[in-house]
Structures are given as C-alpha cells and as structure tokens.
Amino acid sequence: MRRAHYFYLWLAFGSCLAVVLAAMAWVSETALELHQAQAAARNDAALEANVRLALWRIDSVLTPLVTQENMLPPSNYGLAPNALREDLDPNGFVLVRFQLESDGRVTTLPRRESGLASPKGPKPELLPPLDYAALLPKLPDVASLPWTINPAGADAASASPDPAAAVSSPPQLIERDRNEFQARNRAVMSNTQQTRLNFNQTSQFAESPPPAESSAGVMRPMWMGERLILARRAILRGYDILDRNVVASESECIQGTVLDWPGLRKFLQTEIADLLPEASLRPADAGVRESRLLAALPIAIEPGRFTASDAPSGPLDLVPTLCLAWAGVLIAALAVAILLWGVMRLGERRATFVSAVTHELRSPLTTLRMYAEMLCEGMVADPEKQRHYFQTLRAETDRLGHLVENVLAYARLERNRAGQQSQDLSIGELLDNVTPRLATRAAQAEMNFVVGADESIRVVTVRANPSAVDQILFNLVDNSCKYAARAHDRRIQLDVVPSDRHVLLRLADHGPGLDATTRRSLFRPFVKSAADAAVSAPGVGIGLALSRRLARQMGGDLRHVVAEAGGTVFELRLPSGSQ
C-alpha cells in the first residue's frame, strides 16, 4: 500500500511538472513570436520613414525640372537650340523636345550640348510612336491663363491604387498614404506656383518673350512604352499675309519633352542610396500604393531589402532571458523533487524507527511483565532462580534505559540543543570514568574489556565531554557484545593512540566484521526495521549515527576502519587539549 501511495504521489508531481513545462514552452514560443513581431514592426516603421524621406527628396529634385518644362513658352518650341538658355536643363535629363502638329508633322528641339539633330527633322530613336488623335484626349485643355500647373503631376490612373490592394490594406494605412501623397502634391504645386510668379516678374525668357496670344495647357507626365514624356496642349496664334491682307491664324498642337529615364533613374537612386541602399525606381502602374508614388512624375519606388540600424538582432536577444527562466523553473522543479524525496525518505525512516522502537520495547517489557508476575505470585521458590530472574530484570531495565537514553540524546541533537560543554582532561581521567561501565557491559555478554594505554599516554590531555565519550564508547562496546558474541576471541580491545593534534581511541573486537553493503549505511539513522531487529541483534539503528554526531559536536569524529585481521574496528578521534 505504501508503494502505491508513493507511486501516486510521484505521478501527481510528474503531472504538475508536465503542465508547468508545457506552460513554459507556450510562454517561450509566445515571447519569441512577440519579439519577432516587435522587431518587424520597428523595421517596418523605419522603412516607411525612410521611404517618405526618400520620396520627399526625389520630389524636391524633380519639381524644378517639371516646373521649368511647364514654364517654357509655347512659341519657344519653334526657336533654334541656341535660343534656349542652358539653365533650362542643368542636369541634362532632357533628351529632346518635340512639337506634334495635327497633321502628324513632328518638329524636334534637342539639347544644345548633346550635339543631336537640329530642328530640321525629328530624331526617331529618341521619340516614342506619336499619334496625335490618341494622345490629345489624355491632355488637359488649355486654360484661360497660360501654363496652369496641375499639382497632381501624374495621370489619374497611375495615381489611383489598385482596388485589390486597397481591400488588403487597413483603412488607416490607406488614409495615411493618401494624406502623405496629397501633402507632397501640395508641395509640388506650391513650388511650381512660386516659380511661375518669379518667372512672370523677372521675365526669365527675356531673349524671346512669348506672344501674348499663344497659350498652353499643363504638362502631363506619362509613359509611352519605355519613354517617360511630358506633354501638353498648345494653341499658337499668329498673323499670315493673304492677298496683301493680314489675317489672324490659330493652330492647336501638342508640345512635349522626352526625359532620359535611364539616366534620371540612376541619378535618383544615387540620391537616396543613404536611405534605401537597395531601392529601385520603376514606372508606376495601377497596383502601386500611394505611399510608394512620386508626386512629380508617374514613378514608383521599390524599397528592396531594408534593415534598420537600431533593429534587434533577432530571437537570439531573448535566449539569455529564456535560458534564465527555464533554469529557474528546472531548478525549482528539482528542488521540489528533492524536497518530496526527502520528505518521503524521512517518513520511511521515521516509520522504520517507530517499528524498531516498538519491537525493542515489546521484548523487554514482555520479559519484565512475565518475570514480575512470576515473582509476585510466588511461582519461583528457588533462591538461585530468583536471583537469576532479578539479574534478568536488571539487564532488561538497563537495556530499556540505554534505548531511552540514545533516543533522547538523538532528539536533543535534532533540536540543536547543546549538552554539557567540552573540557580539558587527561586520558587517564577519561578512562577511569568510562572503564567500569564498559567492563560491566562486556561482562554481561561474557566478554573481556581490555584497555591498552601506558602511563605516557594517560597523561596526555584531550578536550572532550566525558558524558558524550562514555555514551559513544558504550554504544560501540554494546554493538561488540551483540554482534561478536560468538567470536572465539572474547576480547574487546580499547587502545589509545596519540596523533597530530588529536588522540585516537581505537575499539576493536574479533567478530565477523562488516560487509561493504553494511558499511555504506553504517552511520545512517533509522535504517533498522522491525523485521531486521527480529532476525538480528537488538537495537533501533541510531546508536552509531548518534555517536558520530556526538563526536563531531566535540570537534572530533568517529569512523569505521577496515581491519585486515578481521573483526570490527571503530576509531574515535578527540582533539588534543590546550597545553
């Protein structure tokens, strides 16, 4: 029944431990997931901040280019290259300017420094396929005021996100992207309007002022194949001489600029390399988020791989913390297991001790009761038998007294109650105090107690508690009387051997000795059960444990010495007294 009880106890402990470990595993996994999510959120926030900064930087670079192309008067497209000032294209991103007539005729105006074709004819490899009828509806009408700027700067299709992308994005994110895009649009509009105002006030094109009757619409950026162009509607008004009469003339055309997309892309990517090292630019399409669109041109930015400089290194950051947590849990579990094991062992030892004490008390009490009844009722008339009965009663009484004395002494040690204090005394005085009692106990077992100590040893001083030494030696002699009772040599020898800073009291008998198994548990208390006591010598199994603790309390020790000649030898080590 006891084994089953222990089994269920350990089963309950194992179940609780499994639940705790499962909870720790779940907590660890959740902590790692939260840490990774936090790291990803930080990295995404840093990425979005760098993307916004990169878009603002690119728009600030492109706005002057788009604005100056819008400020170019319509009549200037008919001038020679030398008529245009070089600061209209300081970075060289304009490949060619063209004018498309309604009849399909194309006039080009290339950069002066490029050395390309003159206005005599178009340069086909620089121009995309131009269809007047198809291109005209995509351009805004000519406003009443010339050169009005559309702040959007991009085609409506390219500025609107894909509906599927909008559905997959949170509403807050869509609203934030829209607000950001509109803010950049307002910045482009403000810059353009300020440039136009400055242009009107300073007559930037003073070399060839535009005719008042000519007007143009807004430059609309768009993609035609792989070419990035800026195009607008223009109305050219002039005077023709017909039959010697001056007749006003008016014609509508499309004016535009072809930008150097490869060169512009390389330049812009270099500008934002410190923010987004692996970023790339591509033509914007309908599926691009507004937060990735430029405000000046229909171009989208692809951030590429990005890692924030202050981003956590990953799950390894949590490894020390999790290791400490797991170590704490495992140490706590180990401590509980050790405590549980100790409590169970203590319960077993106490149960064993109770059963042994019960057995040891039952035998002498039974003898005492039986002999007392026989003597009381006069059943024993022979004086010799009466004397024998009285001796037996005395022996059983001494046995009970010795048992109670050991139990009480061990209980005092368990409660850390100090007994008599140690004192300095000579070996002779110590032996004179303990020898009579030890000799009497040996005589009761029909054995001889022999002391080996010459006069030079008897004067040696030791520091000891005489009562404790007497109890230790009596326990040893009592064990010899029990276990060496059948020895051929009936001597119990006590020798005194001086040692460095110690004096050794070596007690030996000539019994069967102790095997290895017995030696391993020799000084453990409560190792003798009632069953063991029934088949072995009397005792409860605390004598040697008590003797060792008494010896160590005095600053000495008690140990078993393996004797080559057989028998059992114990060595009591006592500290030397003050000289």
Query: CATH code at 546?
Result: 3.30.565.10
Q: Same domain for 298 and 405?
A: no
pLDDT of residue 179: 66
**Which residues, 6 or more positions from 89, have their beta carbon under 8 angstroms from its beta carbon?**
65, 68, 111
Q: Same domain for 284 and 425?
A: no
The bridge status of strand 448-452 relative to strand 491-499 is parallel
Strands (DSSP E) along 478-550, which ranges?
491-499, 502-508
Q: Are 97 and 109 in contact (CB under 8 A)?
A: yes
The dihedrals phi and psi of 573, each to the nearest 5 degrees, come to -105, 125
The dihedrals phi and psi of 293, each to the nearest 5 degrees, come to -95, 145
Q: Which domain holds residue 532?
A: 401-575
Which of these three, 248, 275, 302, is where a domain ends?
302
Say how far apart CA 525 and CA 533 lie, in whole Å: 14
Q: Are 422 and 555 in contact (CB under 8 A)?
A: yes
Tokens (6 digits) for 423: 């004192």
The bridge status of strand 215-216 relative to strand 557-561 is unpaired
Q: Are 397 and 361 in contact (CB under 8 A)?
A: no
Q: Is residue 523 part of a domain?
A: yes
Q: Is residue 311 part of a domain?
A: no
pLDDT of residue 120: 44
Q: Is residue 235 part of a domain?
A: yes
- Scored b (16 or more CB within 10 A) or e, 521-536 reads eebebbbbbbebbeee
Separation in Å, CA 464 to CA 311, 423, 485? 71, 5, 30
Q: Is 41 left (phi over 0), alpha (psi -120 to 50) or beta?
A: alpha
Say how far apart CA 574 and CA 469 lie, in whole Å: 9
Q: Same domain for 295 and 437?
A: no
Say how far apart CA 165 and CA 178 lie, in whole Å: 14
Q: Is residue 393 part of a domain?
A: no
Say how far apart CA 276 and CA 303 lie, in whole Å: 6
Which of these three, 302, 337, 364, is where a domain ends?
302
Q: Are 96 and 116 in contact (CB under 8 A)?
A: yes
pLDDT of residue 495: 92
Which of these three, 270, 302, 334, is where a domain ends?
302
Per DSSP, the three-state class of 462 is strand
Q: Is residue 82 part of a domain?
A: yes
> What one-character DSSP code corresponds to residue 538?
S
Q: Are 232 and 217 in contact (CB under 8 A)?
A: yes
Q: Is residue 563 part of a domain?
A: yes
Say how far apart CA 463 and CA 421 lie, in whole Å: 10
pLDDT of residue 573: 93
What is the maximum span of the chain, computed from C-alpha positions, in angstroms?
183
> What one-character DSSP code corresponds to residue 86?
G
Q: Same domain for 285 and 162?
A: yes
Separation in Å, CA 11 to CA 214, 257, 326, 337, 363? 98, 85, 22, 12, 40
| Pure H helices in 255-318 | 261-271
Say how far apart CA 299 and CA 265 lie, in whole Å: 10
Q: Same domain for 168 and 48?
A: yes
The owner of tokens 């400089």 is: 309
Q: Is residue 312 part of a domain?
A: no
Written as one string, the DSSP assignment of 337-355 is HHHHHHHHHHHHHHHHHHH
Which helix (DSSP H) or strand (DSSP E) does residue 159 occupy? helix 156-159
Say how far apart CA 360 and CA 542 lie, in whole Å: 13
Strands (DSSP E) along 59-134, which ranges?
94-101, 106-110
> What one-character DSSP code corresponds to residue 77?
G
pLDDT-flagged residues of the chain (< 70): 1-3, 78-91, 110-125, 143-213, 239-247, 310-316, 359-360, 417-420, 526-541, 578-579
Tokens (6 digits) for 385: 């038998």
Q: How many domains does the chain have?
A: 2
Best CA proximity match to 157, nearest among 94, 221, 213: 221
The owner of tokens 């009387």 is: 481
Which residues lie across from 94 on neighbouring strands?
A: 259
The one-letter amino acid at 267: F
Per DSSP, the three-state class of 260 is coil
Best CA proximity match to 217, nearest among 205, 227, 231, 204: 231
Which residues lie across from 302 on neighbouring strands?
A: 280
The owner of tokens 């008998």 is: 509
Q: Is residue 97 part of a domain?
A: yes
Which residues lie across from 425 on neighbouring strands?
A: 462
Sign of the alpha-carbon torsion through 420, 426, 427, 428:
negative
Q: Are 297 and 66 in contact (CB under 8 A)?
A: yes
pLDDT of residue 333: 93
**Which residues, 6 or more positions from 6, have their beta carbon under 8 angstroms from its beta carbon?**
344
Tokens (6 digits) for 139: 């351009």
pLDDT of residue 157: 37
Q: What is the distance of C-alpha 68 from the center of its chain?
A: 58
Per DSSP, the three-state class of 466 is helix
